[in-house]
Amino acid sequence: MGRRRLLGVGLAVAALALSGTAAAVPPRLAAVHTWAFGIGNGTLSGDVAQRYARYDLVVVDGQEVTAAQVTALHRDGALVLGYLDTGTIEPYRPWYRSAKPYRLDYWKQWGEWYANVDAAGYRKLLGSVAAGMLRKGLDGLFLDNTDMVETHRDQASGMVKLVARLAALAHRGGGHLFAQNGADVDGPILRYLDGWNREDIGSDSAAGRELRLMRARGLLTLATGYTAAGSSRATRRDVRIACRAGALPFVSNLELTRIPAQPPHC
């Protein structure tokens, strides 16, 4: 799971601000007031319905979640999105062998390879992976590392094609598509998205502005803060940043293994 701080807000964000017009969040998403980023190790163990009982939207690992778990979360009224890494190739995934020919350079921090999303074969592979996830009854997909084009500019066209392909799959039957980070490079894919998340909001003064821009585009806007256990002051800070920007806050540790029993909320 690739989580990194953005390098900064460039001219693309300014262009987005000028070109974007205020839009309304779809009614089904407008009813979401709390959310959980539940993709860390152990977050799908035990009674998931109890763990996420207070959350309106839950992001789970699209590969690891079972159809029975999705059903259990639906029973409590939650929308459930499946996490899918698009811009990097994770070696522990069952489709790794098929994805291996599309590896680019190695991202040592997370032990992953950047992906050649410009290759039609890779896009077809991820389309198949996503379709399998959605057959579990998920309400859509949550894409990570679409912002890899920030450092791999030659992959920008391929990323748009990939996101368009995944949007078609997710939107079939009324599902949703979310992505995260990359406010300065996400412009070309925004028309395919229903929601957007900004990670590590407490570490970057640009986070609030980015969140407001995405909200103005009619996206359900989410914000993730990373804090150490017991850091109540940092937690309050990150919730405040999110709420002031009109985003829905979630605060956990960097590994996303901590799911607060009481959801952060504005």
Q: Encoding tokens for residue 233? A: 């002051």
- What is the pLDDT, as a whole number, of residue 229? 86
Closest of 184, 205, 204 to residue 196, by C-alpha = 184
> So what's the pLDDT on residue 111?
96
What the chain holds in terms of domains, given with CATH numbers, is: 11-252 (3.20.20.70)
Return the pLDDT at 231. Answer: 86
CA distance 258 to 91: 24
pLDDT at 25: 79
Tens-digit pLDDT string for the chain (266 aa): 444 333 333 434 444 443 444 577 778 899 999 999 999 999 999 999 999 999 999 999 999 999 999 999 999 999 999 999 999 999 999 999 999 999 999 999 999 999 999 999 999 999 999 999 999 999 999 999 999 999 999 999 999 999 999 999 999 989 999 999 999 999 999 999 999 999 999 988 999 999 999 999 999 999 999 999 878 999 999 999 999 999 999 999 999 999 999 999 99
Identify the pLDDT of residue 22: 52
Q: Which of 83, 217, 232 has its CA nearest to residue 247?
A: 217
pTM to 2 decimal places: 0.91
Give residue 24's pLDDT: 77
Report pLDDT digits (tens) over 177-199.
Answer: 999 999 999 999 999 999 999 99
pLDDT of residue 4: 37
